[in-house]
Amino acid sequence: MTEMRNRLRDAGIIQENDEADTSNSVTDTPWFVKVLHAFSGWMASVFLLLTFGAMIGRLFDTPPMMFGLGLFLIATSYLLLNSKEDALFLQHVALSISLSGQALVSFALFQWSDYHAFGDPLPWLGLAGLELLLMIAMPDYLHRVFSAGVFGVAMIFGMHCLGAGALVIPLLLGSVTWLGLHEYDQSNTIFLRQAIGWGLSLALLWSAAWGHAVNRYIFFDHHREYVGLDHPWIAALLSGGVLVYLVFVMTRENEDAGLQRIFALVFVALVALLSVWMPGLSVALTLLILGFARGNLLLIGLSIATLLWATGHFYYALHTTLLIKSALLVGTGIALLILYTAFHYALSNKEIS
């Protein structure tokens, strides 16, 4: 037991608080207090930005000044997070300072752009590069989750502006899948993998839920012609391929479940084809399976909510009659009942044998 505890402590998974005052320790703080401190830190970053704007004349009209001040605030946050203090309040003060710095750098990047913010890829890719650096360098779990989420959203917009928007969501989904499958491979990077995975998962859930509603203006504009790697069907099929790969890897370990494995792969292949017409279906289902595999109840709940939202939005956004919509619902119900019967039959035969 002592040897195992020493290994966990050396990996940074547990901390010794025998001689420290645990009343102000991050590890002993309830989760709802952490949420309250995080919300307070994010609100403090807004007021901090307003304070800088009031103290420094024409700050928001001078991109070089905003860029320099933003980098200074990010560096200050990095020094605070690397201090030996384990106070939760200090961590969220550092987070608010960092968020203010990131906002100033972002404003500067978009003001330097000669084009509209949603049409020029350079500000988005510059922001993605900054968040990638912070995601790796900042020694704080919550900060890494935030940076990974902003990195994912910035990459979605930036790659779309470059004409390769169909590749970024499958790449992000593949990264989350790899992180989920190899989460515990190295004990000294468990928290880093978890934070990055959570941030990218939130960005993907946004793209599957709220992003689905704006896809008519960004990815699914029916009044424009898609060229090359910008077509949404490519994104849907590649995301479906990630889903098939995940199910293939997870069922490979069970050699006795041959028939069930075939049914599972056929089912996810059909889901991959359906995601061509229903964006986000493969993304949400992949994250749902990862949540079940890791026992992550929060990810399971968010994925189910995203599935319901994307399905409901797809149904109500269909430009067809209620008769056709009813027929689609009946056909979907019949297909699900057939799949349930097939799975039940396969499992019954296995128990008998």
Higher pLDDT, 329 or 129: 129
pLDDT at 257 over 90: no
Higher pLDDT, 202 or 253: 202
Structure tokens given for 310: 């994307």
Q: Residues 191-203: what's their mean pLDDT? A: 90
For residue 57, the model assigns a pLDDT of 61
Higher pLDDT, 329 or 222: 329
pLDDT at 200 over 80: yes
Provide, rounded to the nearest whole percent, the portion of the chain with pLDDT above 70. Answer: 72
Residue 54, exposed/middle/buried by CB under 10 A (0-12, 13-18, 19+)? exposed
Higher pLDDT, 46 or 237: 237
Structure tokens given for 184: 């515990």
For residue 35, the model assigns a pLDDT of 65
Instruction: Quote the Cα angle for 243-201-116, to 5°.
Output: 110
- Boundaries of every domain in the chain: 24-112
Structure tokens given for 19: 């001689």
For residue 151, the model assigns a pLDDT of 95
For residue 131, the model assigns a pLDDT of 93
For residue 18, the model assigns a pLDDT of 41
Alpha helices in the chain (DSSP H): 2-10, 31-55, 63-81, 88-112, 121-137, 141-161, 165-181, 190-208, 210-214, 232-252, 258-274, 281-294, 297-317, 322-352
| Low-confidence winner among 73-82, 244-253, 295-304 (lowest mean pLDDT) | 244-253
What is the distance between the alpha carbons of residues 166 and 248, in angstroms, rounded to a whole number?
23
Structure tokens given for 64: 């070089």
For residue 21, the model assigns a pLDDT of 40
For residue 33, the model assigns a pLDDT of 64
pTM above 0.75? yes
For residue 4, the model assigns a pLDDT of 59
For residue 213, the model assigns a pLDDT of 45
Instruction: Provide the mean pLDDT of the chain.
Output: 76
For residue 62, the model assigns a pLDDT of 78
DSSP letter at 28 equals T
For residue 263, the model assigns a pLDDT of 72
Instruction: Quote the Cα angle for 65-70-73, to 5°.
Output: 130
Q: Which of 205, 210, 183 is nearest to 194 (CA)?
A: 183
* pLDDT 10s digits, 49-95: 777 766 676 677 778 888 888 899 899 888 888 876 656 667 777 88
For residue 141, what are the CA distances in angstroms to 72, 151, 176?
21, 15, 16
For residue 37, the model assigns a pLDDT of 64
* pLDDT 10s digits, 96-119: 888 888 988 988 888 887 655 556
For residue 243, the model assigns a pLDDT of 86
Q: Residues 318-331: what's their mean pLDDT? A: 78
What are phi and psi for residue 352, nearest 5 degrees? -65, -40
* pLDDT 10s digits, 140-194: 888 898 899 999 999 988 888 887 878 888 899 999 999 988 887 777 788 888 8
pLDDT band at 240 (very low <50, low <70, confident <90, very high): confident
pLDDT at 128 over 90: yes
pLDDT at 132 over 90: yes
Instruction: Quote the Cα angle for 106-235-266, to 5°.
Output: 140
